[in-house]
Amino acid sequence: MWSRSRAFAVVAVAAIAGLGLAGCGFQPLYGSSTTTASGTRLSEAMSAVDVQPIPGRVGQKVRNELIFSNTGGAAAPTPRYQLKIALKERDIQQLVQVTGNAQGQVYQLQAKYKLTDIATGKVIHEGTAISRAPYTRFQEVFANVRARYNAEDRAAETVSQSIKSQLAAYLATT
């Protein structure tokens, strides 16, 4: 059992450590009061990113995920940035049987993006996001299609979250 003085000492040390961290300039990336270096709120800067259309079903999924996560479903303000994304899809066969049939597959989605400042027309940030989603192939055609769609959706969600995190980190520090 702890004595009162020992418990008080632990609380005092925790409080002092908390006060020490308060002045270090650390702020959570997705906090409601997080600001960019220019003084605008990060949420406002993220909602001012115009995500350009991406071809294909998976491209539409990535774009919709980014738009919704940046705006929260609200109307977007006048865009300050333009985001262009190019996707590359690939299937990797796993668990290949002696007959040559593959039961397991891994769907890989790679996204290369460029963030452009609309006012200057310059590319201010670019990067890559990659996701892999495994799925199993079955005898039934419909089951294969659904399994592949599910893997595509999971990969698209992961890639959009990665892009959002990279953009937020960039916009928060510049």
pLDDT digits (tens, 9 = 90+) for 16-42: 665 555 555 555 555 555 555 566 788
Matching residue, tokens 């605008």: 40
The tally of domains found in the chain comes to 1
Instruction: State the pTM of this model.
Output: 0.77
Structure tokens at 90: 């690939």
pLDDT at position 19 is 54
Residue 126 — pLDDT band, cuts 50, 70, 90?
Answer: very high
Q: Calculate mean pLDDT across residues 78-88.
A: 96
Query: Is the residue at 35 inside a domain?
Result: no
Q: How many CA atoms lie within 13 A of 113 on its CB side?
A: 33
Query: Is the residue at 14 inside a domain?
Result: no
123-to-31, 33, 168, 171 alpha-carbon distances in Å: 27, 27, 16, 13
User: 97 pLDDT exceeds 80?
Assistant: no
Residue 56 — pLDDT band, cuts 50, 70, 90?
Answer: very high
pLDDT tens digits, one per residue of 57-73 = 999 999 999 999 998 88
Query: Is the residue at 63 inside a domain?
Result: yes
Query: Is the residue at 147 inside a domain?
Result: yes
Instruction: Residue 79: give its domain's CATH number.
Output: 3.30.160.150
pLDDT at position 16 is 64
Query: Is the residue at 37 inside a domain?
Result: no
Query: Is the residue at 8 inside a domain?
Result: no
Matching residue, tokens 């990659």: 130
Q: Calculate mean pLDDT across residues 105-122.
A: 96
The fraction of the chain above a pLDDT of 70, given in percent, is 74
Classify 4 as helix, strand or coil: helix
pLDDT at position 74 is 83
Matching residue, tokens 């049987």: 97
Query: Is the residue at 23 inside a domain?
Result: no
Residue 8 — pLDDT band, cuts 50, 70, 90?
Answer: low
List, as one string, the DSSP characters of 46-87.
HHTEEEPP-SHHHHHHHHHHHHHHHHTTSPP-S-SEEEEEEE
List, as one string, the DSSP characters of 20-52.
HHHTTT---TT-TT-B-TTSSBHHHHHHTEEEP
Query: Is the residue at 104 inside a domain?
Result: yes
**Cα 61 to Cα 70: distance, rounded to the nearest angstrom:** 14
pLDDT at position 84 is 98
Which range marks the domain in which residue 141 is found?
Answer: 50-173
